[in-house]
């Protein structure tokens, strides 16, 4: 018997996506605080400690679960959206930055998904949202996402978000190397580690960083083309520094100042 609620959904948009979830009467979806975009009139919502899964029963279990969420930088509370009406109702959740929303059927992926710590968006009620520690010191220190990842487990639908274009690869014992910040999620049969990116000259001057992530095993991995850290670096480099804009030395910058007060 399934423990998670069975929900319907549709993805809206391209680079700034929404996921619109349709709930039957009595069904619930859980989501990160602040991710809701719109909802029908009979959708009720409540902030609760824990995700509502069977493993978080009791006050101490909820407090322990909330405390672990604090380690990932997320809110203590998760918001539960429930259809309190007599007809099907909709609630939609928005991506926090440009990228894609990935629907993952946990039942079809071994019941478990490990993802970067800020990737989780929402899931069917009954999904357990936990943290996972990197077992290897090197992978935690240089692996791009630190020592703490998120682990989603259950038998329903979960939705994760990542930047840019998302590529899914199914590995059957192969090894793949990728930029340390580009790994979004992986199923339980995948082993994650890091390795040097090459010779000393390549590490210093190659532009690919000092280390690469390696994934190997049997399962699926999801890879993003634009990690948020890379996007943030570009925004910061293009922003004003010391009161001067990045184009002030150009002809366009000079023309722009002619029209300033």
Alpha-carbon distance 253 to 236, whole Å? 18
CATH code for the structural domain at 8-239: 3.60.160.10
| pLDDT number for residue 184 | 93
What count of other Cβ atoms lies within 10 Å of the Cβ of residue 233? 11
Neighbouring residues of 53: CB distance < 8 A, sequence distance ≥ 6 = 3, 126, 127, 128, 129, 154
Contact 188, 130 (CB under 8 A): no
Per-domain boundaries in the chain: 8-239
Give the span between the Cα atoms of 82 and 45, in whole angstroms: 6
Q: What is the pTM of this model?
A: 0.78
In angstroms, rounded to a whole number, what is the distance separating the alpha carbons of residues 104 and 124? 11
Percent helix, strand, coil in the chain, to 5, is 20, 45, 35
In whole angstroms, what is the distance from residue 165 CA to residue 179 CA? 14
Residue 98: what pLDDT? 86
- Which H helix or E strand runs over 253? helix 251-258
pLDDT at 250: 44
- pLDDT tens-place values along the chain, 261 residues long: 457 899 999 999 988 899 999 999 999 999 988 899 999 999 999 998 777 775 555 555 555 555 555 655 566 688 999 999 999 999 999 988 888 999 999 999 999 999 988 899 999 999 998 887 655 444 444 444 445 788 999 999 999 999 999 999 999 999 999 888 899 999 999 998 887 665 544 445 444 556 788 999 999 999 999 888 777 777 787 876 555 544 444 444 444 444 454
C-beta separation of 160 from 105 below 8 A: no
- What per-residue confidence (pLDDT) applies to 222? 96
Please return the burial class of 59, using the count of CB atoms within 10 Å of its CB with bins 0-12, 13-18 and 19+.
exposed
- The pLDDT of residue 60: 57
């Amino acid at each position: 018997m399934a423990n998670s609620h069975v929900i319907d959904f549709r993805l809206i948009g391209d680079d700034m996506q929404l996921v619109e979830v349709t709930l039957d009467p009595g069904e619930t979806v859980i989501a990160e605080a602040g991710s809701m975009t719109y909802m029908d009139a009979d959708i009720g919502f409540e902030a609760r400690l824990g995700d509502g899964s069977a493993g978080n029963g009791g006050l101490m279990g909820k407090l322990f679960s909330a405390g672990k969420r604090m380690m990932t930088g997320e809110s203590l509370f998760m918001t539960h959206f429930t259809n309190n009406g007599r007809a099907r109702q909709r609630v939609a959740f928005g991506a926090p930055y440009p990228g894609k929303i990935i629907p993952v059927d946990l039942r079809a992926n071994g019941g478990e998904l490990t993802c970067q710590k800020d990737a989780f968006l929402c899931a069917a009620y009954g999904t357990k949202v936990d943290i996972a520690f990197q077992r290897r010191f090197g992978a935690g220190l240089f692996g791009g996402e630190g020592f703490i990842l998120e682990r989603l487990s259950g038998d329903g639908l979960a939705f994760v978000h990542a930047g840019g274009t998302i590529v899914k690869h199914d590995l059957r014992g192969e090894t793949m190397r990728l930029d340390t910040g580009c790994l979004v999620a992986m199923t339980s049969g995948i082993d994650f580690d890091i390795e040097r990116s090459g010779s000393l000259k390549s590490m210093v001057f190659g532009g690919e960083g000092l280390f690469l992530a390696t994934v190997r095993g049997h399962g699926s991995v999801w890879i993003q083309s634009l990690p948020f850290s890379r996007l943030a670096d570009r925004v910061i480099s293009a922003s004003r520094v010391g009161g001067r804009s990045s184009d002030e030395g150009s002809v366009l910058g000079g023309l722009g100042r002619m029209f300033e007060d």
